[in-house]
Chains A and B, each alone.
Chain A
Amino acid sequence: MATAAIPKTKIIGGSFLIEDRTTAEVFTPEDFTDEHRQIAQTTEEFARNEIVPNIEKIEHKDWQVTRDLLKKAAELGLATVDIPEEYGGADMDKISSCIIADRIAVSGSFSVSFGGHVGIGTLPIVYFGTKEQKAKYLPKLASGDWIAAYALSENTSASDAMNARTKAVLSKDGKHWVLNGEKMWITNAHFADVFIVFAKVDGEKFSAFIVEKDFPGFSVGAEEKKMGIRGSSTAPLILNDCQVPAENLLGEIGKGHVIAFNSLNIGRFKLGAGVVGGARNALTNAISYAKERKAWGKSISDFGLIKEKLANMAIGVYVGEALAYRTVGMIETILADIDKNAPDASTQIRKGIEEYAVECSILKVWGSEMIDSVVDEVVQIYGGYGFVEEYPAERSYRDARVNRIFEGTNEINRMIITGWLMKRAMSGQLALMPAIKQLMDEVLAGPSMGEPLEGPLAAERTIIANAKKAGLMVSGVAMQKYMMGQQDQQEIMGAMANMIIEAYAMESAVLRTQKLIENKGEAACETAIAMTRAYISGSVDKVESEAKRVLAACAEGDMLRTQMAILRRLFKYEPINSISARQHVADRVIEAGKYVF
């Protein structure tokens, strides 16, 4: 019985760029404990038996159905995994939390309602609430009697949340905060009971409040008519002299941003897990349709171009799982050592999660773009049937799109990825600067023969090591050119983020497969190896192209030619036969009729 699978090494957030990891230091889905597997099973059964038969009703905004399902999920513990036991929660690790977000994802609408409640709606109280606030709200939220929501955006501020216009003023008798303003895009608005509302105290100090739907002056506006996730409620909140008891201030005055951004960090890794689950589910639909649908006397799953799509989807899920569980594994390693009864336990937990802000952002960006390409290809496989509402392809296509928008747009997250790493580098928390300097000295010294890597996936590991070097080199060049002004060069920041994202994704995939090989032997891991190699062959091209883009923007003439020569050296590798690798992957998933890992 597997029980102690969580890696011991505490890893510095963002260090994947400059440090190599061993397989023992990363958590993979193959490291799930028996408990994790049971939780996955319960969640899958719940999704299959309770959510799927109700999708039509959910899509028609039958809020009672969603509320009943949330209540049932709460009774099973699926909705309470992050709530301490003393308040009625199941109180389990973040890996379990991630598994639930992943396996529950069979309906975009329900997943969003669920995430709004258990994640960004409830967690601010778990991490920032006073004892009294926790005792008052958490048991009701844990039982599913009450549903939570999170209200940060406004019509003129979303990604720039700190520019909120909603104002909170303390009443003369000091008993109430009086809130005025309008919040927008609020998930669960029409059926939630309690809202985490952000407002500026006296129009200046950004703060958070716990607002109940029955407080005087609180109302919910008209439901938005959305492109996707139509079965989730999204509406504005109207706060018209809304009276919030003084004790419902959440956290400290002026510290609302800490609550807002930490909630988003958690939201991001859960979203990352959710999109992997959504993609897996879309893939299963696509496989069964492709096997069933006949053209010229055979199943369209026998055709190469369809196989290629199915393989790409499976690879997306495989790499996505590697990314999601590696990230949550690192978080769990830090959290495992925290004494949950310590007075500052919540602060420590938040800090643990914050440590991996870059990884969480990577997971969000990579995952939301992966699922978008998956659902796009699912529509293509369904052909005309993918374009009509009777089949699931159309709905998943619409539902997936919002993932690139909420929890911080992918553009904002790209800025976070590069910006946060630069900040850590400047402050010395992450030894990026010495690494860049060492690399520059090394590459300027000319080609070195270095010891070639050996063992399974040696070629891929070399590619990743060189891609990381290219990332450092490009960072060095861009920093030299723009110095502190680099923050304003969004295109360059974005291109660098793309390189960083791919480096983390490639490495996560390779480490997962290496670990599999160590445990099962190379012969038993043929499909995993094929997926990894196929992914890396495409990913490294992206890294190279982004590197060129940045270099060309930062240098010219001889300097650019020298840098390009270095780049060519770093990206010198023999292409693999990615067509046969994908055929192998496709054959496996077609035979099994589902994603096979």
Chain B
Amino acid sequence: MKILVCMKQVPQKDAPLKLNETGTWIREDVSYEVNEPDAYALEEALRQKEKHGGEVVVITAGPARSQQVLREGLAKGADSAIHLEDPGFVGLDAFNTAKAFAAAIKEENFDLIFTGLQSDDYGYAQTGVVLAEIMGWPHATIIMQIDKQDGGIKVKRELEAGFFQHVDMPLPAVLTIQSGINKLRYATLIGIKQAKNKPLRKVTMDEVRSSLGDNMQKIEKLYIPQKTKKTEMLTGSPAEIAKQLVEKLKNEVRVL
């Protein structure tokens, strides 16, 4: 199977974020890492390749710094990488990002495309689904497990309230992968060394521009919510306090 894994570079989880001067996004001087669900998507792709053979290609869209996530993918075992390199990809809406990806891979024949379920920064959970529409492929989201079978795959989806759905799908298809479904591997030193010599294709914004429409997303204003903390002390005998507490949980917090 030939699998494409869409990876995104996002700010590190514990990085202190500061707003940029225009108040429309965060300042660039933070540390970045691979979007967590994408790391699981990559791991799943590598496991599929180990089981069934084939090829894993990683792709990202972003400025030069985002090449780091591709290097990480290559060091862990991906065979090649595609970098849509332009700062303009930061803040591009999911629809156009998916169009850019589709344009960049139009010459290639993938059996599967994996994306993480969603990104840790914008969190739209859209790029994978939209990409499937553009490609005219079926898709399934929140994937926990993938089993290859004759003529297609069987996947396990996570639903709400502890329910799962098992779906038989034809190939090619797009799957958005849930975090935590496997154990991530380390990039070994040999892997890191070999990654240097693996092919990395760069795609410029100009090469895909004709496929893109207007950016349909614009952040007008981003702000850090004010911290509000209200503490109310319940007084009275334990029985009275318990009664008041139950009332508040029922009527104010509405969790009972």
Which residues of A does B touch, CB under 8 Å? 1, 34-35, 37-39, 41-42, 45-46, 75-78, 80-81, 90, 92, 96, 524, 591-594
Asked if A42 contacts B68 (CB within 8 A), the reply is no
| Residues on the A chain within 8 Å of B188, using CB | 42, 75-77, 90
Asked if B186 contacts A46 (CB within 8 A), the reply is yes
- B108 on the A face (CB < 8 A): no
A443 to B68, alpha carbons, bound, how many Å? 53
CB distance from B233 to the nearest CB of A (A): 17
Which residues of B does A touch, CB under 8 Å? 14, 16, 29, 64, 67-68, 71-72, 75, 186-190, 192-193, 195-196
A75 to B196, alpha carbons, bound, how many Å? 20
Q: Is the interface of B mostly helix, strand, loop or mixed?
A: helix
| Residues on the A chain within 8 Å of B67, using CB | 1, 34
| Residues on the A chain within 8 Å of B190, using CB | 77, 90
Asked if B16 contacts A42 (CB within 8 A), the reply is no
A591 to B196, alpha carbons, bound, how many Å? 36
A81 to B72, alpha carbons, bound, how many Å? 19
A38-B186 contact, Cβ under 8 Å, with A1-B67, A593-B14: no
| Residues on the A chain within 8 Å of B16, using CB | 591-593
Q: How many A-B residue pairs have CB under 8 A?
A: 51
| Residues on the A chain within 8 Å of B71, using CB | 1, 34, 38
Q: Which of A42, A75, A591, A592 contacts B192 (CB 8 A)?
A: A42
| Residues on the B chain within 8 Å of A594, using CB | 14
Asked if A41 contacts B189 (CB within 8 A), the reply is no
A593 to B17, alpha carbons, bound, how many Å? 13
Name 11 extra pairs, CB < 8 A, besides A1-B67, A39-B189, A76-B188.
Answer: A1-B71, A35-B192, A35-B196, A45-B186, A75-B188, A76-B186, A77-B188, A78-B189, A90-B190, A90-B193, A92-B193
Asked if B193 contacts A35 (CB within 8 A), the reply is yes
A76 to B192, alpha carbons, bound, how many Å? 10
Asked if A38 contacts B72 (CB within 8 A), the reply is yes
| Residues on the B chain within 8 Å of A591, using CB | 16
Residue of B nearest to A90 (CB): B189
CB distance from B215 to the nearest CB of A (A): 28
A75 to B186, alpha carbons, bound, how many Å? 10
| Residues on the B chain within 8 Å of A39, using CB | 189, 192
Residue of A nearest to B14 (CB): A593
| Residues on the A chain within 8 Å of B187, using CB | 38, 41-42
Residue of B nearest to A81 (CB): B189
| Residues on the A chain within 8 Å of B14, using CB | 593-594
Asked if A92 contacts B29 (CB within 8 A), the reply is no
CB distance from A234 to the nearest CB of B (A): 29
A74 to B220, alpha carbons, bound, how many Å? 51
Residue of A nearest to B192 (CB): A38
CB distance from B13 to the nearest CB of A (A): 12
| Residues on the A chain within 8 Å of B196, using CB | 35
Residue of A nearest to B196 (CB): A35
A90 to B14, alpha carbons, bound, how many Å? 32
Residue of B nearest to A591 (CB): B16
A38-B29 contact, Cβ under 8 Å, with A90-B190, A90-B193: no
| 8 A-B pairs closest in CB distance | A77-B189, A90-B189, A38-B192, A76-B188, A77-B188, A42-B186, A42-B187, A76-B186
CB distance from A294 to the nearest CB of B (A): 15
Asked if B68 contacts A34 (CB within 8 A), the reply is yes
A96 to B68, alpha carbons, bound, how many Å? 18
| Residues on the B chain within 8 Å of A35, using CB | 192-193, 196
A46 to B184, alpha carbons, bound, how many Å? 12
A265 to B226, alpha carbons, bound, how many Å? 55
Asked if B189 contacts A92 (CB within 8 A), the reply is yes
| Residues on the A chain within 8 Å of B68, using CB | 34, 37
| Residues on the B chain within 8 Å of A76, using CB | 186, 188-189
A-B pairs with beta carbons under 8 Å apart, 23 shown = A34-B68, A34-B71, A35-B193, A35-B196, A38-B72, A38-B75, A39-B189, A39-B192, A41-B187, A42-B188, A76-B186, A76-B189, A77-B188, A77-B190, A77-B192, A78-B189, A81-B189, A90-B189, A90-B193, A591-B16, A592-B16, A593-B14, A593-B16
Q: Which of A34, A37, A80 contacts B189 (CB 8 A)?
A: A80
CB distance from A386 to the nearest CB of B (A): 24
A4 to B16, alpha carbons, bound, how many Å? 31
| Residues on the B chain within 8 Å of A96, using CB | 189
